[in-house]
Chain A
Amino acid sequence: MNSPGSFYLPAASSTMAPEVDALLQFIVVASSILFAIVVFGSFYFAVRYRRRKGSTFTDGKDHNVRLEIVWTVIPSILAFIVFFWGFNSYLKMNIAPANAIEVKTTAQKWFWQFTYANGAGSTNELVVPVGVPVKLLMSSKDVIHSFYVPNFRMKMDVLPNRYSLTWFEATQTGEYDLFCTEFCGTGHSSMLGKIKVVSDTEFRDFLNAGSALGTGQAPEAFGADLYKSKACFTCHTTDGTPGTGPTFKGVFSRSEAMSDGSTQLVDENYIRESILNPQAKIVSGFQPVMPTYQGIINNTEIDALVAYLKSLNTGQ
């Protein structure tokens, strides 16, 4: 079921992908033939009947009902075939098998948040078992995003205050790109993620580890993990260059000018507030675009992040 892909298609790694490819290729072939007839036919006539010196009298044959019928009916038949084929696969794409496992997906500027049935969660990395249908129940916290995995040939918009659903069944373990394909603002093109397709046992391990994340780790190290897994890095760098947000290099106990003119010392409380209620105080020179992590990050995780930010100071 897994085709390696070609110069114009990525590898087909879900159960639906080969079906989509088949129709796509059918249309490519059928329309190439029709295209050759019409366009190259015209070009041939243009050359074959090019104007020569002398008389340019041409005959007056200006219609032929039989021809008109032929070139109405044949394309119509083709169009019907394509329609039914496409619709058939589309229905399959939309009706999840009953045994599908459900993953809740929240999109938010500009990252993905996944929650599994047992409460384990992950950010920007969806881990799924191979050969098992996975149903995504999706909604957004702000604007419309769209969940797109080219290898699976699947895409579904994620709407605010509304559910949308889709499903897939991966046929091959590996890592696949996840894109956001609905324009959602400044960070649209960095709203990327990965789909990690693993074996059944690995998936079970992941679920178990997921609900007990961070135990037995030093807070700084855990915070560093969170910096990656909670997508802070998409906006905050640690090397001193400002991104969408201020850099984390030397952020702790820095005095920061706010857009309302006040200054603010970056301490534990301020960091906490920045994470849970980022719109409260805006660092001057930046847009108020940082999403709230309310409900996504718990207290231990905030503490870990604070410890990590502190460590960035002493590290230098």
Chain B
Amino acid sequence: MNTSSESNYLNASRGWKSWLFTLDHKRIAILYFFAIMFFFFVGGVLALLIRTELLSPKQVLVGAETYNQLFTLHGAIMIFLFIIPGIPAILGNFVLPLMIGAKDVAFPRLNLASWYVYMLGSLFALYSIVTGSVDTGWTFYTPYSTTTSGSVISMTLGVFILGFSSIFTGLNFIVTIHKLRAPGMTWYKMPLFAWGAYATSVIQILATPVLGITMILLILERAFGIGIFDPAMGGDPVLYQHFFWFYSHPAVYIMILPAMGIISEVISVFSHKKIFGYKAIAFSSLGIALVSFLVWGHHMFTSGQSELAAMIFSFLTFLVGIPSGIKMFNWMATMYKGSVSLESPMLYAMSFLFLFGIGGFTGIMLGALSVDVHLHDTYFVVAHFHYVMMGGTVMGFLAGLHYWWPKMWGRMYNEAWARITAVIIFIGFNLTFFTQFILGTKGMPRRYYTYMDQYQPLHAFSSVGSYIIGLGFTIMAVYLIHSLFRGKAAVKNPWGALTLEWTTSSPPVEHNFELQPVVVDGPYDYDRIRIENDQRIYKEVKMKSETETKVGL
């Protein structure tokens, strides 16, 4: 793809074997990119089918059972196959070693294994779709999931296997960050994306195994009736919910923390200003990661759990809001007196601020006990989590994808179209999901295939919005694919960023750097380094060869 004669990781070796057996973190990232994008596409198409079905209060396209399978698959694919691996496995794999000046992740073989495990898990999920599918919702609540027909076992087995992929990535990142930082890269000189990835990995390590055991117990319950979750056998369905949310609440921060890391990078780079409150942002990531383990019960306020437990969970839920707020305020302060350019990554970052803000505050509403009793399992919750997941994580992902695209492929995309698309998706998104907040407060329950006539107008608006999102993504697919083949060659550092990945060529050479980088300045020291924006020339002050350093001594 790259026409220049220089050797880089894309053209260093050829043939499908050199890809399928590669140990290069950059190539593994690319493998992940295609796999995950495929599933995002599938999940997105399912979403459009859901929205089409909901155009009218009566049946439009499919029957009740098919509809139930649609939203289950949409949820399960989006969560387990797209958003949880998304940022860490694609962008994290690609840039994290580059950012901290390492030649690779600590365990390249494990890294490749995680991709194969991911593919295996997705095969199980696909297998369950062709053999009767699942209609339980992505939460697999018992006793429905232990009694319904369909292939729940292969789907949950798939989820179990996907967990390993997630664990492998997390393990790799933690060790990489601990052990492979370049000389001079102290913890506080690490870019904030690395902090975000670190906090994410901690959650992946601590929470994912519990998902694993939950899925095993669910399978055993379904197959043998072991009596832990199924009341018919003496089990407690609410206990299942504890197990499930012990993983799945922290998992929502697996989704958002890396996105927040990207936003920190992008806002600082596109404001050309030193990030405000570096330590506050870094430690709030860890804070969120830790507190996230204490709040899972807020998904169960009306489940019949103890009122006292509900009180504790509600209280702790609010604590999570504080560090998220700290981040938002620090990003704002970073832009203050900066030199802001609104290129497409920054536009996505601004979308993030807006949409995640709404998503976060509505999370606070759901955390308030009495209000949640009204809103639980209505479209308000649906809107909340799309605002944080699609509006938060996916916008962060898109910001990162546009930001690092030149580095990944050595090509630029069409900036004008990228900006137009950002606006289209923003508008379509708000149309789709803001209406759902109102549906929710009015009492429209979720997972409803037919509904009362009074909700129709808002549902119709929402469906139209989803088509606009679909249009946006289609344009994006076109200009990104176009860029792969026809894009202008990218320079080393198109945005004038100061982190290490921009000091190597675009795309990077096979072993990341020609010479081992040695870190002198912080990742955001825009006050110390003058950047001539117009020519986009970046003075390479940070890359000094080891020999140079030694001469210097």
Q: Chain A residues in contact with chain B, CB under 8 A?
A: 7-10, 16, 19-20, 23-24, 27-28, 31, 34-35, 38-39, 41-43, 45-47, 49-64, 67-68, 71-72, 75-76, 79-80, 82-83, 85-91, 93-94, 142-144, 146, 148, 150-151, 153-157, 159-162, 164, 177, 179-190, 192, 244, 287
Contacts and interface: CB of A to CB of B under 8 A. Distances in A.
A49 B339 contact: yes
Shortest beta-carbon contacts, A-B, top 7: A150-B443, A60-B527, A89-B370, A86-B368, A90-B369, A31-B361, A79-B318
Given A75-B321, A183-B137, A45 B335 contact: yes
Interface stretch (B36-44, B139-147, B177-185, B508-516): B139-147
Interface string B352-365: 01100110010011
B370 A35 contact: no
6 contacts: A49-B335, A79-B321, A82-B368, A156-B302, A183-B141, A186-B68
A61 B525 CA distance: 10
A68 B237 contact: no
Q: How large is the interface on B (under 10, 10 to 19, 20 to 34, 35 or more residues)?
A: 35 or more
B380 to A, nearest CB: 10
Contacts of B330: 68
A59 B337 contact: yes
B445 A179 contact: yes
Interface in B332-377: 332-333, 335-342, 346, 350, 353-354, 357-358, 361, 364-365, 367-374, 376-377
Contacts of A185: 68, 135, 144, 148
Contact of B280 (A31, A63, A88, A146): A63
A160 B340 contact: no
Given A83-B315, A177-B452, A186-B68, A161 B361 contact: no
B337 A157 contact: no
Contacts of B451: 189
A179 B232 contact: no
Contacts of B135: 185-186
Nearest to A45: B335
Interface of B: 64-65, 68, 135-137, 141, 143-144, 147-149, 231-232, 236-238, 271-280, 301-304, 307, 310-311, 314-315, 318-319, 321-322, 325-326, 328-333, 335-342, 346, 350, 353-354, 357-358, 361, 364-365, 367-374, 376-378, 437-438, 441-443, 445-452, 496, 524-528, 530-534
Nearest to A67: B333
B448 A56 contact: no
B361 A68 contact: no
A155 B446 CA distance: 14
A157 B232 CA distance: 17
Given A45-B340, A72-B322, A185-B135, A58 B273 contact: yes
A210 B150 CA distance: 41
B357 to A, nearest CB: 5
B135 to A, nearest CB: 7
A67 B274 CA distance: 16
A41 B357 contact: no
B443 A177 contact: yes
B335 A90 contact: no
Nearest to B377: A181
B331 A90 contact: no
Contacts of A39: 328, 353-354, 357
Contacts of B369: 86-87, 89-90
Nearest to A92: B370
Given A23-B371, A153-B373, A71 B304 contact: no
B231 A287 contact: no
A176 B374 CA distance: 15
Contacts of B325: 34, 38, 71-72, 75
B277 A27 contact: no
A142 B147 contact: yes
A59 B377 contact: no
A177 B276 CA distance: 51
A125 B524 CA distance: 65
Given A79-B364, A93-B373, A160 B335 contact: no
A68 B280 CA distance: 8
Contacts of B361: 27, 31, 34-35
Given A45-B337, A181-B445, A183-B141, 20 more contacts: A7-B438, A24-B441, A42-B350, A42-B353, A52-B339, A58-B526, A59-B527, A62-B274, A67-B333, A83-B367, A86-B314, A87-B315, A143-B144, A150-B374, A150-B443, A157-B303, A161-B231, A181-B376, A181-B377, A184-B144
A88 B368 CA distance: 10
Contacts of A182: 141, 377
A7 B454 CA distance: 12
B115 to A, nearest CB: 33
A162 B365 CA distance: 29
A150 B375 CA distance: 9
B332 A42 contact: yes
A68 B326 contact: yes
A8 B441 contact: yes
Contacts of B527: 57-60
Contacts of B328: 38-39
A139 B452 CA distance: 26
Contacts of B147: 142-143
Given A10-B442, A80-B318, A38 B302 contact: no
Nearest to A57: B530
Nearest to B496: A56
Contacts of A23: 368, 370-371
B525 A148 contact: no
Contact of B371 (A8, A86, A183): A86
B303 to A, nearest CB: 5
A49 B337 contact: yes
Contacts of A151: 443
Contact of B533 (A51, A89, A153, A183): A51
Contact of A287 (B149, B438, B441): B149
Given A9-B442, A157-B304, A177-B443, A50 B340 contact: yes
Contacts of A56: 272, 339, 496, 526, 530-533
B364 A31 contact: yes
A181 B368 CA distance: 19
A190 B450 contact: yes
A292 to B, nearest CB: 14
A46 B370 contact: no
A20 B365 CA distance: 11
Nearest to A79: B318
A143 B141 CA distance: 9
A184 B534 CA distance: 61
Contacts of A53: 533-534
A42 B331 contact: yes
B238 A159 contact: yes
A160 B237 contact: yes
A101 B335 CA distance: 60
Contacts of B329: 38, 67, 71
A27 B371 CA distance: 10
Contacts of A76: 322
